[in-house]
Amino acid sequence: MNVRWLIRLIYFIICVTVSIQSRGATVADPHSYAQPSKVSVKHLDLDLKVDFSQKVLEGLATWSLDRKDTTAKLILDVRGLEIIDIKAVADGPALSHRISPNDPIFGSKLEVDLPAGVNSIRIHYRTKPDASGLQWVGPEGTAGGNQPFLYSQSQAIHARSWVPCQDSPTVRFTYSAKVQVDPALRAVMSAVSEDSRTGKSDGVYQFEQAKPIPSYLLALAVGRLDFKPIGPRSGVYAEPETLQKAAAEFVDTEAMIQAVEKRYGPYAWGRYDLLVLPPSFPFGGMENPVVTFATPTILAGDKSLVSLVAHELAHSWSGNLVTNATWHDFWLNEGFTTYVEGRIMEDLFGPERGDFERRLGYEELLAELKEVPAPDQRLLPDFAGRDPDDGVTRIPYEKGRLLLYQLEMRLGRETFDTFMRGWFTDNAWKSVTTADFVAYYQTKLKPETNVALKGLDLGEWLNKPGVPESAVVPVSERLTKQVDLSRKWSSGEMKTDDLMTAEWSTQDWLAFLNHLPEKLPISLMTELDKKAQLTDKSNAEVAHVWFLLAIRSGYTAADAATDAYISRIGRRKLVVPLYKAILMLPNGKARATALFGKARSGYHPITAGTLERQLQGDR
């Protein structure tokens, strides 16, 4: 070998080494105090007692450590945790540690001194009743009404309020857990457990998560739950009152799993179960591994809102398998997932449904762009120093999907599917940044020479506000038809009697109602309500849009139903806009304040916090 080749070989080895080392570990996460490049956690063994009377979890968290820098301390994130003691082993001496003052967004830094040779630590701790990642629901907030319910919501940075951890998606760990509950209740976690499916008469549940997960996927629910299988590797946890309805709603789950598997590779998590939460759950769904947590507001009775299942399932690839490295890269989780969700819906229910939902999503994006400040409209925004929960707008979801949709349209499905499959396979079990995506895009698709990608400026998508000119705007004939009806009917060109509402799907209703003017005359509201019983409609999404319209139009016949809806449901997307609309009314502030006063104790801290800021006029 000549010298030139030897130099090339050495250069190549250095490059590969640097690029391997720079993966994950060196990515700085502005939303965590942890320094995983010095000491990182590898495995968690959790032992929890659930005390509903005190609204407290008491626990032992045993972390095994990877001490890359043997002189460094261990740094964990905590928020409002009472640390009782920290030891290397159960009967050993206490390890010295310090907890920094609490930051309202980030909590505290817990710094633990590590003597030589110590490779695991055991933290004895208690949570606070107002832990931001837990909701302790009273019996009145459940379907059965006679037992309490507890659930966690760790994403984005709330795991630290119930488990001392390196609360950053750059860090992955496996976990096992033992959870002790009242034997009348059942415990479920984001991990495989035979116990959860059968129930335990002694109330002691064991869990094993053998796949490495980031902390935001740590999850726990405890309640009067029952389980019903719905497929070879799927089932539903719900209160007995809702179990049958939920099982019927989710029968297509196995078909959905297979639809993704055939395109992007095998499902990696063993089982895929769904858990129906009380209506106060602030989100639609949460992709906790092995068991998706879902709001009961998607139980429409006609499978019309199961795109949420498609979405949370898709996260098993985009998010849980290939994870955003920081919350700035959130679009890699949500944009990819929203894109895959659309493909699942199309596979299962046909292209018309796919087009329809993609177009609805695009319209939501346009509406959101009017509200969100320009810097936060970038796919790669800067949330350093701010609460990552504030980055949860339609932008990462729908602008992200639009970018991928554009790639699909330009490259053709086959080429793009291969690209996506490669992305999931090559990055499996890794945390990835937007820069990783750009590098992958350049390597695999060669945009400089690829004619199909001519004029597509990835930098514009990532770093500029708004939607790039080059975007492919989704169209849906079915939606266009509804928009047309909406215009004709509201302008008096068409009579209420001539609307074929009996044949309309949920999506038809959403399109029709969304495109009506802000306000309608009471006469039209009354006619439509009489024809289609909208005020009594049980579909939570349709009811939401109808109530918005009713508030703006001053259609007081829907007031009582609106107020009941607002106090029963805590899903942020469904209640916050209703409060906003009420606040715009002449006497709105008084009505909104009274409603919030009554409903507040039933809301999750996340929804309550958003509403408090609304009522104070902050946002």
Q: For the CB of residue 149, give the shortest distance to ligand BES in the complex, in Å.
A: 18
Site string for Zn ion, 308-347 (x = CB under 5 A): --------------------------x--x----------
Per the DSSP assignment, residues forming a β-bridge with 77 are 109, 165
Q: For the CB of residue 311, give the shortest distance to Zn ion in the complex, in Å.
A: 6
What's the burial of 180, exposed, middle or buried (CB within 10 Å: 0-12/13-18/19+)?
A: middle
DSSP annotation of 397 reads I
397, 405, 579, 603: which is the annotated catalytic residue? 397
Q: For the CB of residue 197, give the shortest distance to Zn ion in the complex, in Å.
A: 25
Choose the binding region for ligand BES from 304-312, 502-510, 582-590, 592-600 (rule: CB under 6 A).
304-312
Residue closer to ligand BES by CB (options 286, 599) is 286
Q: Which region, left, alpha or beta, applies to residue 270 given φ > 0 means left and ψ of -120 to 50 means alpha?
A: left
Is 362 in the active site?
no
Among positions 570-599, residues that touch ligand BES (CB under 6 A) are: 573
Residue closer to ligand BES by CB (options 397, 555) is 397
| Per CB under 6 A, 283 contacts ligand BES | yes
Distance CA 575, CA 598 (A): 14
Q: For the CB of residue 425, give the shortest distance to Zn ion in the complex, in Å.
A: 21
Is 503 in the active site?
no
Choose the binding region for ligand BES from 163-171, 267-275, 281-289, 476-484 (rule: CB under 6 A).
281-289
Among 315, 378, 544, 604, binds ligand BES (CB under 6 A): 315
Among positions 175-194, residues that touch Zn ion (CB under 5 A) are: none
| Per CB under 6 A, 311 contacts ligand BES | yes
Work out the number of other CB atoms within 10 angstroms of the CB of residue 12: 10
Q: How many residues bind Zn ion (CB under 5 A)?
A: 2
Among 191, 392, 513, 545, binds ligand BES (CB under 6 A): 392
316, 304 Cβ separation under 8 angstroms:
no
Among positions 60-99, residues that touch ligand BES (CB under 6 A) are: none
Q: For the CB of residue 251, give the shortest distance to Zn ion in the complex, in Å.
A: 22
**Closest listed residue to residue 379, CA positions, set 311, 449, 332, 326:** 332
Distance CA 48, CA 39 (A): 25
Whole-number Cα distances in Å, 594 to 282, 552, 567: 20, 19, 11
Query: Helix 351-369 and helix 477-490: axis angle, to 10°?
Result: 60
Residue closer to Zn ion by CB (options 77, 334) is 334
Nearest-10 Cα torsion for 163, 164, 169, 170: -150
Residue closer to ligand BES by CB (options 200, 544) is 544
Q: For the CB of residue 320, give the shortest distance to Zn ion in the complex, in Å.
A: 10
DSSP annotation of 216 reads G
Distance CA 450, CA 407 (A): 12
Q: How many residues bind ligand BES (CB under 6 A)?
A: 15
Choose the binding region for ligand BES from 78-86, 284-292, 442-450, 467-475 (rule: CB under 6 A).
284-292
312, 346, 408, 541: which is the annotated catalytic residue? 312
Cα angle value 532/538/543 (rounded, 5°)? 70
Distance CA 188, CA 5 (A): 58
- Which of ligand BES, Zn ion, none does residue 23 bind to, with CB < 5 to 8 Å depending on kind? none
Whole-number Cα distances in Å, 539 to 303, 360, 522, 529, 542: 11, 17, 23, 14, 6
Q: For the CB of residue 573, give the shortest distance to ligand BES in the complex, in Å.
A: 5
| Per CB under 6 A, 155 contacts ligand BES | yes
114, 73 Cβ separation under 8 angstroms:
yes
Residue closer to ligand BES by CB (options 422, 609) is 609
- Which of ligand BES, Zn ion, none does residue 239 bind to, with CB < 5 to 8 Å depending on kind? none
Choose the binding region for ligand BES from 93-101, 308-316, 426-434, 550-558 (rule: CB under 6 A).
308-316
User: Which residue carries 């906790």 as its tokens?
Assistant: 288
Distance CA 577, CA 607 (A): 12
**Closest listed residue to residue 315, CA positions, set 293, 340, 298:** 340
185, 147 Cβ separation under 8 angstroms:
yes
Query: Helix 540-553 and helix 572-583: axis angle, to 10°?
Result: 10
Strands 220-223 and 149-152: antiparallel
- For the chain, state the CA radius of gyration: 25
| Per CB under 6 A, 356 contacts ligand BES | no
| Per CB under 6 A, 124 contacts ligand BES | no
Q: For the CB of residue 326, give the shortest distance to ligand BES in the complex, in Å.
A: 13
User: Which residue carries 């059942």 as its tokens?
Assistant: 186
165, 127 Cβ separation under 8 angstroms:
no
Choose the binding region for ligand BES from 181-189, 278-286, 507-515, 528-536 (rule: CB under 6 A).
278-286
Site string for ligand BES, 329-348 (x = CB under 6 A): -----x--------------
| Per CB under 6 A, 126 contacts ligand BES | no
Residues that bind ligand BES (CB under 6 A): 155-156, 283-287, 308, 311-312, 315, 334, 389, 392, 573
Residues that bind Zn ion (CB under 5 A): 334, 337
Q: Which residues are catalytic?
A: 312, 397
